[in-house]
Amino acid sequence: MTPTNVTHPGTEPGLARNLLPWAAGGVGLWLAWRWLRQSRQISLRDKVVMITGGSRGLGLVLARQLADEGAHLILCARDGPELERAFDELAGRAPRVMAIPCDVTQREQVEIMIAVALARWGRIDVLINNAGTITVGPVETMLLEDYEVAMRTHFWGPLFMIQAVCRGCASVARGESSTSRPSAAK
């Protein structure tokens, strides 16, 4: 037998012809899936993103990433000096940054903060309710007050934020002006 007559399994010309449409179909499907995925991605460039608890931890990590994506940031937390450090770090990184000291468990503080933010920038596109504290311990040592603090921080705080942002944005859309206290914002 001469070498030209040798065939290896899977290399017959007929088999290659049969596989070609499947390969082309596979590439087409992959390209369609990639296009669909990209078209569903939301760009945060030039969006106004409010992050509660943006002064450290997960909130600050999110703020850095969003700054790199070109989002305008509004941060809040209770500890003023720590919030100011976050502001200083992000000021050169995001297009615009606003930092407002606020305890999200205090409804009036939340409403003032959102009024200040809307009076200055006119909109909030994304709200990230990140602020929180984790208190853990054996159940026999936990006090009712611990649960109350957790509920205020993780339930009522986010609800105050959602209500204030939705209502504030709706009133801006209706052309109503919001009450502002610019001195509270950095």
Query: Which residues sit at the interface with ligand NAP, rule CB under 6 A?
Result: 52-53, 55-59, 76-79, 82, 102-105, 130-134, 153, 157
Q: Which is nearer to ligand NAP, 13 or 81 (CB)?
A: 81
CB of 182: closest distance to ligand NAP in angstroms?
Answer: 20
Q: Which is nearer to ligand NAP, 46 or 79 (CB)?
A: 79
Q: Which is nearer to ligand NAP, 89 or 171 (CB)?
A: 89
Closest to ligand NAP by CB, 55 vs 178, is 55
Cβ-in-10-Å burial (0-12, 13-18, 19+) of 133 comes to: exposed
* 51 CB neighbour count, 10 Å cutoff: 25
Structure-block tokens of residue 35: 């296009």
Minimum distance of ligand NAP from residue 94's CB (angstroms):
17
Rounded CA Rg of the chain:
27
The residue with its CB nearest to ligand NAP is 132
Q: Round to the nearest angstrom and report the end-to-end CA distance of the chain.
A: 87
Residues 107, 8: Cα–Cα separation, whole Å:
76
Q: How far is CA 143 from the centre of its chain?
A: 33
Q: Is the dihedral angle over the CA atoms 182, 68, 47, 76 positive or is it negative?
A: negative
Question: How far apart are CB 121 and ligand NAP at their closest, in Å?
Answer: 20
Q: Which is nearer to ligand NAP, 105 or 178 (CB)?
A: 105
The phi and psi torsions of 127 (rounded to 5 degrees) equal -115, 125
